Structure 1
Amino acid sequence: MAEKASKAMSLLKLAEERAKLKKKLEEGKQKQQLDSVPYLPKDCVSNILVRLPLESLQRSRFVCKPWYSIINSRTFVHDNLQRAEKVLIFLSPFNLVSRWSDKDSVFRENTNTFSVEAKIFDLKSVHVLHRPLIDSSSKYAIRYMMLADGKIKIGELNATCLGKIRATCDGLIVIDNKLKKGELVIMNPVTRELGLLPLGTIYPSHEESLALVNCTQGYKLIHLFRDESQFIGCEVLRIGERSWRVIDGPSFGLLKWFGYEPVFAIGALHWVPEIDHSEYIVSMTIDDEKFYKIELPKVSRFNDRIMEVSGCLCFVAHEEMNEISIWILESLCGEWKKIYTIGVGCIRDLIPLYFPKFKWEIYFMDKDGSVFAFDFEKEQMRKVVVKKEIFPIHPSAYTIHVNSLVSWSITENGHDDIDP
């Protein structure tokens, strides 16, 4: 009996030794496989990650600490911004969006939806019991329209707000805070970062113009407004500072129209002073904050627009005989150059929307909401295919935007520059 027990113990010990040996061999094999994987330099990993769509980047930053560090670095955010294509953002009434039947287009406010007003409550530490009820019928969903390859794609930013979009730059959006008169909110709908801006001069929106720009001093918000004497006042807020600075407005004539958004190009902001028959534009250099008057190459018409293309200022003008001319200004002290005349497929009511960043095209919108694209290389005007979507049919409802990871609150050292 004792002999059988001893033999059983020997077999058990042998089995344990074999199991340990097998485990050791497997660990050695795994280590060998890991050692055979080539080392990827940080720059190589960054070059791979920067090509991912923003949705994937948002998830990838939590894969590991090195990836988190790469994706949140200033260099990576800048490189990602340079690769981002322009889109058009717009607001859709929330109650209207919720009734859409297209499953891919239905906007549902759930736990993943970013509410601007809810975030404002959190920043101000407002107790839940003291929060006013917000009627969903007064909410807007922030959406974007992407034009590419002859098609329109409507995308969701999964964000809602009560206020109107007032300015955009590098993926940042300035929105009215409807919870406090005159207050503005700056946010990035992709990263869901949000901050409140100090109160400035309060005027009705149709009597003022706001523009957000990126310059050597950081992000600036430029506010032009028509005062009681009908002269144009101007104040500037550097994002991160706690008060606005008053500067001299344009001294040559009056801005009669604030309906068109200003355009940033060649180091300056540009406004068309009249909705029709304007002979010049008003320009403000961003670094030294001085105003200038620049003559247009021809008197503008109702459907003409100034635009930015490849860093230059562009004037898109309707000519006689259903032609559209493209003028370029490369510097403030330069001269306008006509670089192209579109003579095919032109319609008198075509309103220019924007030039994409990576393709030599220009997009237009007709008065019925139809979208057209002119390809300069093929010299062809084509109507863009529109899915059965509900979106605004007037160009003034859209604002040029890029979806990015940009933050206004990070300094060179990576620390927050402003308090919410």
Structure 2
Amino acid sequence: MAMEVSLPLPLLPGDVIKEILVRMSVKELLRLRSVCKEWCILIDSPEFIRTHRKVSKLGLFINDFEHLYWLDLDTLDSSSSSVSCTLERLDKSRGFVALNLGCCNGLIVEGYCGYLCSGGGVPFLWNPSTRNYGKVSFNKDYASYSLTTVIGLGYDPLIDDHKIFTSTVIVPQKRKKRSVCVFQQYCVKAKTWKKLICNDALSENYGYDFGHVFMENSTLYWVVTPWDEEEKEDNEDAFCNVRFILGYDIVTEKHTKLPLPTSFEETHCFVFGPCDLDGCLSVVRQKKNERSCFEIWVMKEYGKEEERRSWTKLFSVVAAAADHGPGYFQSRMRPIKYYESTNQLLLYVDCERLILYDSKMNTFKHVHVPILGVAGRFEAYLAVQTLVGI
């Protein structure tokens, strides 16, 4: 009887190995680092990390204020009346999960509140996929009589560094003087603070809410309102007077203004956003006299030239009137993802639920999220899982 001879496995070219590894998840890559020294060096290299980040699929970070989870949007099972999903818990080695103050390239700025102060409240910059995190150093230049809010997190490709953007309200010691607003940026790797060049233009408006910012290329976008409009209206109507979208390029340090759809000027309405819908800047419009009707508008082309700025209304979603069923929601709605093959739109509503809306049948399905959290509420925001370091 002939003896069986085991043949050595063929060696794959390095380029082929790289192409295989770059398509794997962060969880798998962290394990594969221990296979050999060559793989560890490859996976830890800046070029591999950048390439892996660019090909990573969008998913959802879900924060129930006790734990953080990852939801792969391609795994939603919509075959039944109630859609099921599988979550992966990410914070096994960390003692807290707080509010999301900004998210970019798999990194999250988190804190117990939206503010920084000299006595506490300093946020963390965290990569939940690799479980690496560190504190953001406090800017002592405005330590006294000030209140600083994190308004966004972005990436500067020229210096390969992430930047945290803040708005600081400096309260004067004398009562008769008005408060002054200062906009700054914090470079994560350099650990340095800098006042923005266009500080005066930014301070003319309000609405730079943490967690409500859209980034395209190197530009951050907010839905803002001029300060003088707030003085003309009461608290409720102040939300109905949003005038434009303000963009800030973190590389050139220049700002730009994008107009909202012209139909928004015809009647009072609430505008929520900006949102990321399939890589496009989008906003949600709710008419003041039709609270159950929500319109989703998308700007598919937005450059410096005025003629390229075009808005398109993609969906009109009407919430159910009765206080029951998956189609009922009251105040807030944010589009997450459009599944073109099934004509379904994933929505995050009322800060506590995910639902699937069928745009052709005008029907809703509840997405069962298997977490409890604080009072049943949770944050949900689009992100990618990456190897990006702190």
Q: Same fold (TM over 0.5)?
A: yes
Q: Distance in 2 between matches of 1:160 and 1:251?
A: 40
Q: Distance in 1 between matches of 2:369 and 2:22?
A: 30
Q: 1:224 aligns with which of 160, 164, 167?
A: 167
Conserved? CA contact 1:143–1:155, under 8 Å: yes
Corresponding residue SS for 1:92: coil
Q: 1:403 aligns with which of 367, 373, 385?
A: 385
2:32 paired with 1:60: yes
Conserved? CA contact 1:89–1:400, under 8 Å: no
2:360 paired with 1:365: no
Aligned-partner residue type, residue 295 of structure 1: P
Identity of counterpart residues, as a percentage?
A: 19
Query: Larger Cα Rg: Structure 1 or Structure 2?
Result: 1
Which residue does the alignment assign to 1:155?
88
Q: Distance in 2 between matches of 1:388 and 1:43?
A: 41
2:186 paired with 1:214: no
Q: Distance in 2 between matches of 1:205 and 1:168?
A: 25
Which residue does the alignment assign to 2:59?
86
2:252 paired with 1:288: yes
* Alignment gaps of 5+ in structure 2: 79-83, 172-177, 226-237, 321-327
Q: Using the TM superposition, give the Cα deviation of residue 386 of structure 1 relative to its aligned residue in structure 2, in angstroms.
A: 0.6
Query: Against the structure 1 CA distance between its residues 214 and 85, is the aligned structure 2 distance closer, same or farther, given a 3 Å change threshold?
Result: same
Task: Summarize deviations over 1:53-80 as a string: whole Å, max 9, x none.
Answer: 3322221111122322332233332333
Higher mean C-alpha deviation, range 256-265 or range 190-199: 256-265
> Which is richer in strand?
2
Q: 1:258 aligns with which of 199, 209, 212?
A: 209
Corresponding residue SS for 1:273: strand
Superposed, which structure 2 residues align to 1:151-230 within 5 Å?
A: 151-157=84-90, 158=92, 159-161=94-96, 164-176=99-111, 181=120, 183-200=122-139, 201=142, 208-216=149-157, 217=159, 218-228=161-171, 229-230=178-179
Which residue does the alignment assign to 2:323?
none
* Alignment gaps of 5+ in structure 1: 1-24, 94-140, 409-420
TM-score by length of 1: 0.66
Aligned-partner residue type, residue 314 of structure 2: Y
Query: Against the structure 1 CA distance between its residues 329 and 301, is the aligned structure 2 distance closer, same or farther, given a 3 Å change threshold?
Result: farther
Q: 2:5 aligns with which of 25, 29, 44?
A: 29
Which residue does the alignment assign to 1:120?
none
Q: Distance in 1 between matches of 2:106 and 2:315?
A: 32
Conserved? CA contact 1:142–1:160, under 8 Å: no
Q: Distance in 1 between matches of 2:318 and 2:101?
A: 35
Q: Distance in 2 between matches of 1:283 and 1:395?
A: 30
The root-mean-square deviation of aligned C-alpha atoms, in Å, is 3.8
Q: 2:315 aligns with which of 341, 346, 349?
A: 341
Q: Using the TM superposition, give the Cα deviation of residue 155 of structure 1 relative to its aligned residue in structure 2, in angstroms.
A: 2.3
Conserved? CA contact 2:156–2:251, under 8 Å: yes
Corresponding residue SS for 2:40: helix
Q: Distance in 2 between matches of 1:213 and 1:58?
A: 25
Q: Distance in 1 between matches of 2:335 and 2:37?
A: 39
Q: 2:69 aligns with which of 133, 136, 143?
A: 143
Which residue does the alignment assign to 2:175?
none
Query: Against the structure 1 CA distance between its residues 381 and 49, is the aligned structure 2 distance closer, same or farther, given a 3 Å change threshold?
Result: farther
Q: Using the TM superposition, give the Cα deviation of residue 354 of structure 1 relative to its aligned residue in structure 2, in angstroms.
A: 4.2
Task: Summarize deviations over 1:203-254 as a string: whole Å, max 9, x none.
Answer: 9998623311112232111112333334431111222223201124243733
How many matched pairs?
332
TM-score by length of 2: 0.70
Corresponding residue SS for 1:315: strand
